[in-house]
DNA sequence: TTCCTTTTATGTTTTAAAACACAAAGTTAC
DNA sequence: GTAACTTTGTGTTTTAAAACATAAAAGGAA
């Protein structure tokens, strides 16, 4: 599992990279959690923390595999998805840095129920779940972190069920655009979505065929709700998009 | 919130009922969890545990309300559902006794994201979530119980997204029948589903209109996969239903 | 560059499921 | 028991979205 370069790089540089990555981790969401660890615990984490690089579209793990690691996205963008009937794919969740993923199946005592792949070149750190489990046992805050995270995801998943089954195509695509903007944000112009995804991914996110994603997107362009330049999507009229997403 | 009869009944009988209910709770899933409590903790639970009765189709809580209680279904059957666009309803989860529900929103720091109602006359116990929170802080096993439960539900919810969006009507209904049999089981004949639900509920469970639920059910009858007598559904050919659910 | 593959775009046809419209059975209320 | 309402059952029409069919761009590789 350890990346090839790891063996090739001088120990000093390797340690620096890990330290840098961990610093990044510790400056985010879970900072309070990591800081309550004592020195010995911190040592264990640093020793076990392994960094991986994934190319654009590379699989990180696949449905059906045994979950062993907590994955922590340090850089890039990751999609969690499920292969359905007749080659259709449903994107279930989007991961941004710094977010954790891949732990649900382990906690549920199941194999992976969905797959994860990099949207763009991504750097990911792993910790063995056995270690995470130990840490949860010694750290109430960490337990609460996962309870909170799982609860929020479950709520999102239930909402998604209704969005994807009951809204019409325009509503679903508008919803997807809103979700993308909420999740990955905008470029400096405050309009351009900070994610550049294929029409096919957009379709897989909003439960439609690629043709319909393209068609509907064009519709939004002619209604001046967005502009499109290749994969660069600019949101012009967010209120109206939200309205369409609610039902229109 | 406390039921009217509570004030009317002699204290002795009331205590007996609560004790009986708690015994039932403690004999199930979470038994190991409740048994690790010390006497003072048990006292706190017994004092705070309140029993409620709900009539058929009565609402237990509604989307948008503030979550305050852990609900524990002692007797009966409960559905969790979400009102969607244009009066459509999606049933998200089915609760059987003894199962806990209504805690997700509290853990996520959100209001209820879905509603709960009794399918049939049901008895439900409540514990204030503040108390549950305290208990989790003092009881590692309880934390794990919720992590495990949330993780399993999240996996189920993700699977449901693909089932409901990608399968055809027959597949979705077959899936629903399988889920019902797995969840509520059969009568003594080992064929008759132990839940008697309106066609409308069946439709809301499998994302279709009532007419289509009725029509598709009739189809299954003429294919000799099931028999139907009012709301009594008998599964004749489960393997074939599973096949249809997988894709047919 | 040129060739080849993938992605985007758009028009047309087909189809699955919703919407609509009744009628018959069952329930519930009085 | 009868009236009123709800649920179940079926036939018909409509419609939203998939499937199919190309074609034009765009992106990569030799």
Helix A169-184 vs helix A140-166: crossing angle, to nearest 10: 150
Q: Are A235 and A180 in contact (CB under 8 A)?
A: no
On the question of a cis peptide bond just before residue A57, with omega within 30 degrees of 0, the verdict is no
Q: What is the rounded average pLDDT of the residues B125-143? A: 93
Provide the 10 A C-beta neighbour count for residue A36.
Answer: 13
Ordered DSSP codes for B150-200: HHHHHHHHHHHHHHHHHS-HHHHHHHHHHHHHHHH-B-TTSSBBS----HH
What number is the average pLDDT over the span B198-226?
A: 97
Query: Which pLDDT does position B18 carry in this prediction?
Result: 58
In this predicted structure, which of A191-195, B33-37, B192-196 has the lowest mean pLDDT?
B33-37
Lowest mean pLDDT among A119-123, B154-158, B179-183: A119-123
Q: Are A4-163 and A168-247 in the same CATH fold?
A: no
- Write the CATH number of the domain with boundaries A4-163: 2.60.120.10
Are the beta carbons of A92 and B158 separated by less than 8 Å?
yes
What are the tens digits of pLDDT across the range A207-220? 999 999 999 999 99
Question: Would you state the pLDDT for residue A198?
Answer: 96
**CATH number of this structure's domain A168-247, picked from the four choices 3.40.190.10, 1.10.10.10, 3.30.460.10, 3.40.50.1820:** 1.10.10.10
The answer to whether some atom of strand C lies closer than 7 Å to the beta carbon of B87 is no
Domain extent listing, chain A = 4-163, 168-247
Lowest mean pLDDT, pick from A35-49, A110-124, B119-133, B192-206: A35-49
Could you give the angle at the alpha carbon of A72 between the alpha carbons of A127 and A18, nearest 5°? 70
A50 touches strand C (CB under 7 A): no
Predicted pLDDT of residue B10: 36
Chain B residue at shortest CA distance from A82: B162
Please state the rounded mean pLDDT for residues A211-236.
96
A22: pLDDT strictly greater than 70 = no
Helices (H), A51-139: 104-108, 129-137
Q: What's the pLDDT tens digit per position in A50-94?
A: 999 999 999 999 999 999 999 999 999 999 999 998 889 999 999
Average confidence score pLDDT of chain B: 88
Mark yes or no for CB contact B147/A148 under 8 Å. no
CATH code that applies to domain B167-247: 1.10.10.10
Which pLDDT tens digit goes with each residue over A154-170? 999 999 999 999 999 99
- DSSP run (H or E) holding A73: strand A69-75
Q: Determine the average pLDDT of the residues in B130-145.
A: 92
Gap from B126 CA to D25 C1', in Å?
62
């Amino acid at each position: 599992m350890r990346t090839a370069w790891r063996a090739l790089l001088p120990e000093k540089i390797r340690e620096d990279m890990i330290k840098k990555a961990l610093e990044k981790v510790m400056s985010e969401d879970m900072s309070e959690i990591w800081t309550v660890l004592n020195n010995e615990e911190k040592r264990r984490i640093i020793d076990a923390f392994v960094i991986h690089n994934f190319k654009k579209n590379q699989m990180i793990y696949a449905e059906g595999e045994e979950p062993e690691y907590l994955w922590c996205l340090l850089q890039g963008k990751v999609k969690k998805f499920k292969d359905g009937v007749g080659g259709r794919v449903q994107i279930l969740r989007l991961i941004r840095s710094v977010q954790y993923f891949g732990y649900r199946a382990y906690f549920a005592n199941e194999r992976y129920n969905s797959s994860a792949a990099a949207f763009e070149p991504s750097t990911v750190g792993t910790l063995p779940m056995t270690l995470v489990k130990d840490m949860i046992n010694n750290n109430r805050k960490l337990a609460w972190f996962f309870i909170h995270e799982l609860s929020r995801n479950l709520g999102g998943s239930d909402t998604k069920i209704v969005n994807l089954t009951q809204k019409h195509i325009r509503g679903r695509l508008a919803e997807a655009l809103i979700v993308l903007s909420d999740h990955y944000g905008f470029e400096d112009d405050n309009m351009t979505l900070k994610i550049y995804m294929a029409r096919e991914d957009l379709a897989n996110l909003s439960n439609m065929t690629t043709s319909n994603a393209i068609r509907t997107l064009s519709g939004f362009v002619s209604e001046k709700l967005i502009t499109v330049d290749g994969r660069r999507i600019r949101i012009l009229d967010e209120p109206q998009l939200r309205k369409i997403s609610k039902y229109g």
